Amino acid sequence: MKRHVWRPLFVVLGLVAIILSARMIYVPADFGSQERGYTFGFHRLSNEQEWQAFPAKFKDSAYCGGCHEDKTGSWEASAHAAIPCENCHGAAFGHPDKPEKLGIDRSRGLCLRCHAKLYMPSSGRHDLPGIDAERHNPGAECVACHNPHNPSLEEM
């Protein structure tokens, strides 16, 4: 074969060798080496203890109910009982110490994530009560009229 064929072939083979050598140096030996190979993505057996020691950011709603029985009681009886507290109040990581109070997302966009009027007859999403955001009190926060812990009650 001519030289113009061998040169690119050697360049490609050299690049492949460099990449494979770098992979051997930088990728841990236990990366994806379980029985099922790379099925579980970026999982390494050697760092499981590290992840177990990592503090959880999110708690469940039962954690909130320990101190906030007055709020969780009405919330559990409402249509929003399936929605975790942290969807509106943010992660409970470090609460009650830091921060003392969790922020409350009172934005209209938060409510419209579920309550924007959508036509989806083949899913459970269609059964949620939806509003036309352009006609139903445009610009006003939903919590000005509706109690999110018991949305069937009007607060006005």
Sign of CA dihedral 95, 97, 98, 103: positive
**Segments making up each domain of the chain, as ranges:** 61-154
Reported as a single tens digit per residue, the pLDDT across 22-70 is: 988 988 777 765 666 555 566 777 888 888 888 888 888 888 888 888 8
Of 40, 44, 83, 80, nearest to 60 by C-alpha is: 83
Of 129, 57, 128, nearest to 89 by C-alpha is: 57
Q: What is the pTM of this model?
A: 0.56
